[in-house]
């Protein structure tokens, strides 16, 4: 890339985003300490890029995705899409904005209404927004099917007649129908076979080029994220611990948690031995996160200060931010 500084346009911006789920206990439903699924996140997504979000199960990455879509109201913070704050929009305004914000779900077996035909499923978004109807609608559905690698003869079938990979293609076609600007892919390949994963990832890349899409790619599999993302954000227990562009994150991780995640990727070469820095213990309870740095209970480099003070997300290189008192590679 040339050194000419291009001003990248921010498409979606998330500031101070929090989501606390109330936890009720007992007969009188007394509210106890809330479950802090997402606890203060700042992220920026630039037009045309793919931002990968990775983290363990339960770290709040899917909740973040739901809030970015405006499907889940945040407890605190804002989601700004093209200058509009999603949290301040009315239900109807939000509904109209759906054209620009779409989602691909994780489980292709539960994300398609089993009672609808493929034609209905893919035509549904266009019908809802009154974009087209009748013969025109059918032709558009056929065109969409072809873009995702399916054909006209699939129109009248129901989801149960398809394999997981095919269903995910249908889900993608449905998301594409309204020509969105941004698609949140919520673990779109986690439920698929490895051979199919590559197909779907390549399809997503092809579509991105073709339609100039912006992706937020949520996943827990690092290889998939590396394959598709331009930048990657690592989440731990409801917080972003590191954001960087793909190569610097995978080559030179700053946060110990990222390092541990990377070292957990198996190398497909039996002659090479790798020193695994496996994490011990489980993810702490998100309704009662550890004091100071949330990672200190499992961090191999943790010291006294980590228990006391929560580290800020600081920029170490151009676009490479991490939240750690004792950053690696320094």
Partner 1 sequence: MRMFSRIEVKKELTLEETKTDKKAYSLKWLKVLLNSKTGTLGLIIVVFMVLMAILANVIAPHDPAQTDVVNRLVPPVWAEGGNPDYILGTDNLGRDILSRIIVGSRVSLLVGISAVFLAGAIGLVLGLISGYYGGFFDRVIMRTVDAFLAIPNILFMLIVLAVIGPSLMTLIFVLGATTWVMYARMVRGETLSIKERDYVRSARAVGAKDIRIISRYILPNIISSFIVIATLNVATTIILESSLSFLGLGIQPPDVSWGLMLSDGREYLATSWWVATFPGVAITITVLGIIFLGDWLRDVLDPKTKTN
Nearest-5° angle of CA 84, CA 88, CA 94?
70
Cβ–Cβ < 8 Å for 74, 39: no
Query: What stretch of H or E contains 315?
Result: strand 314-317
DSSP string computed for 38-107: EEEEEEEEETT-EEEEE--TTSSHHHHHHHHHTSS--SEEEEEETTEEGGGS-HHHHHHHTTTEEEE-S-
The answer to the question of residue 133 lying near partner 1 (CB under 8 A) is no
CA distance 245 to 202: 20
- Count of Cβ atoms closer than 10 Å to residue 253 Cβ: 23
Select 25 or 156, whichever has its Cβ closest to partner 1: 156
Select 100 or 245, whichever has its Cβ closest to partner 1: 100
The one among 129, 205, 220, 252 contacting partner 1 by CB under 8 A: 129
Select 9 or 96, whichever has its Cβ closest to partner 1: 96
The answer to the question of residue 114 lying near partner 1 (CB under 8 A) is yes
Cβ–Cβ < 8 Å for 81, 75: no
- Tokens at 47, concatenated: 């037009």
Which residues, numbered 177-236, are part of the site for partner 1 (CB under 8 A)? 177-178
The answer to the question of residue 95 lying near partner 1 (CB under 8 A) is yes
Pick the stretch among 15-23, 43-51, 125-133, 245-253 that binds partner 1 (CB under 8 A): 125-133
The one among 9, 143, 156, 206 contacting partner 1 by CB under 8 A: 156
Pick the stretch among 112-120, 207-215, 254-262, 314-322 that binds partner 1 (CB under 8 A): 112-120
Select 44 or 124, whichever has its Cβ closest to partner 1: 124
Which residue is associated with the tokens 């997503």?
A: 204
The answer to the question of residue 110 lying near partner 1 (CB under 8 A) is yes
- Tokens at 115, concatenated: 């009672």
Q: For the sheet with 76-81, list strands across it.
A: 35-46, 10-21, 76-81, 84-85
Select 106 or 258, whichever has its Cβ closest to partner 1: 106
Pick the stretch among 15-23, 156-164, 201-209, 296-304 that binds partner 1 (CB under 8 A): 156-164
Pick the stretch among 103-111, 199-207, 214-222, 314-322 that binds partner 1 (CB under 8 A): 103-111
Instruction: List contacts with partner 1 (CB under 8 A).
Output: 69, 71, 95-96, 98-99, 101-103, 105-107, 110-117, 124-125, 128-129, 153, 156-158, 160-161, 171, 174, 177-178
């Amino acid at each position: 890339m040339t050194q000419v500084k291009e001003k990248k346009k921010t498409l979606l911006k998330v500031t101070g985003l929090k989501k606390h789920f109330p936890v009720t206990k007992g007969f009188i439903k007394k509210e106890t300490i809330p479950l802090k699924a997402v606890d203060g996140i700042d992220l920026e997504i630039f037009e045309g890029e793919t931002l990968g979000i990775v983290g363990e199960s339960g770290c709040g990455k899917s909740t973040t995705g739901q809030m970015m879509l405006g499907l889940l109201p945040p407890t605190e913070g804002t989601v700004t899409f093209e200058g509009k704050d999603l949290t301040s929009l009315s239900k109807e305004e939000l509904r109209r904005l759906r054209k620009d914000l779409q989602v691909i779900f994780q489980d292709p077996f539960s994300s398609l209404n089993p009672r609808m035909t493929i034609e209905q499923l893919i035509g549904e978004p266009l019908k809802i927004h009154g974009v087209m109807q009748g013969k025109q609608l059918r032709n558009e559905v056929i065109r969409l099917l072809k873009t995702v690698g399916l054909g006209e003869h699939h129109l009248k079938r129901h989801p149960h007649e398809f394999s997981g990979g095919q269903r995910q293609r249908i889900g993608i076609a449905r998301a594409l129908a309204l020509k969105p600007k941004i698609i949140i892919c919520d673990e779109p390949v986690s439920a698929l076979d490895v051979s199919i994963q590559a197909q779907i990832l390549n399809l997503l890349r092809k579509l991105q080029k073709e339609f100039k899409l912006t992706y937020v790619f949520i996943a827990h599999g690092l290889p998939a994220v590396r394959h598709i993302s331009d930048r990657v954000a690592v989440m731990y227990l409801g917080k972003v611990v590191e954001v960087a562009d793909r190569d610097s994150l995978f080559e030179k991780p700053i946060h110990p948690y990222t390092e541990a995640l990377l070292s957990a990727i198996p190398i497909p070469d039996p002659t090479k031995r790798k020193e695994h820095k496996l994490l011990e213990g489980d993810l702490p309870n998100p309704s009662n996160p550890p004091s100071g740095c949330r990672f200190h209970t499992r961090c191999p480099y943790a010291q006294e200060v980590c228990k006391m003070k929560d580290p800020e997300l600081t920029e170490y290189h151009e676009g490479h931010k991490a939240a750690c008192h004792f950053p690696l590679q320094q």
